[in-house]
Amino acid sequence: MKKRAVYPGSFDPFTNGHLDILKRALKVFDEVIILVAVQPDKASLFNNDEKVAMIEQSIKGIEGVKVDFSSGLTIDYALKNDAIAIIRGLRAATDFEYEFRMAAGNRYVDTQIDMVFFMADAKYSFVSSSLIKELYSHGVDISALVPKPVKQAFDEKIKKRD
């Protein structure tokens, strides 16, 4: 049986920090499903189809990865897809507090799925999706912080607005 994990997030947008966590997770797990969490109450720059497309383009050539989206509980998705773990990235102590509560909630729902945490690489420890959007909106070059397809998607989105 292959060791499968689910890597959930809003991924609005997918960053080089996310990509780094994914590559490191693939050293531990045979398969990783990147799960775009559908959050209807949260305003997103990109819709779910755009997010999935950006991620698929960003991971082209990386084996053992699938991209999907779901509006339900991640723990339920993981169970339905025979995952043994949910992957999360940690940038700072503040992330730990939030993730600790999520892990406890997931254990309450089901004890079969473990939470596996990867510390962010120091060069990405400050990167968040909201920071990327903020920097881009003020004309800062985000090329070093996001995969090329994500940067292109930002540029196209802004051209459509103008």
Q: Which of 44, 58, 70, 129 is catalytic?
A: 129
What is the pLDDT, as a whole number, of residue 95?
82
Distance CA 116, CA 132 (A): 25
Domain boundaries, the chain: 4-161
Alpha carbon of 108 to those of 12, 126, 135, 161: distances in Å?
Answer: 28, 31, 38, 44
Quick check: is 42 catalytic? yes
Quick check: is 18 catalytic? yes
Q: Which of 42, 138, 159, 161 is catalytic?
A: 42
Contacts of 87 (CB under 8 A, 6+ apart): 5, 6, 7, 8, 21, 25, 29, 32, 116, 117, 118
What is the pLDDT, as a whole number, of residue 161?
61
What is the pLDDT, as a whole number, of residue 93?
76
Q: Which of 18, 51, 88, 151 is catalytic?
A: 18
State pTM to two decimals.
0.92
Quick check: is 151 catalytic? no
Q: Which of 24, 91, 107, 157 is catalytic?
A: 91
Residue 119 parent element (H or E): strand 114-119
Distance CA 83, CA 86 (A): 8
Distance CA 135, CA 28 (A): 33
- Let me know: does 124 contact 17? Beta carbons within 8 Å: yes
pLDDT of the chain along its 162 residues, tens only? 799 999 999 999 999 999 999 999 999 999 999 999 987 777 888 999 999 999 999 999 999 999 999 999 999 999 999 999 999 999 877 788 888 888 889 888 888 999 999 999 999 999 999 999 999 999 999 999 999 999 999 998 876 665
Tokens of 103: 């892990």
What is the DSSP code (8-state) at residue 12?
T
Tell whether omega for the bond before 13 is within 30 degrees of 0, i.e. cis.
Answer: yes
Quick check: is 58 catalytic? no
CATH 3.40.190.10, applies to 4-161: no
What is the pLDDT, as a whole number, of residue 160?
66
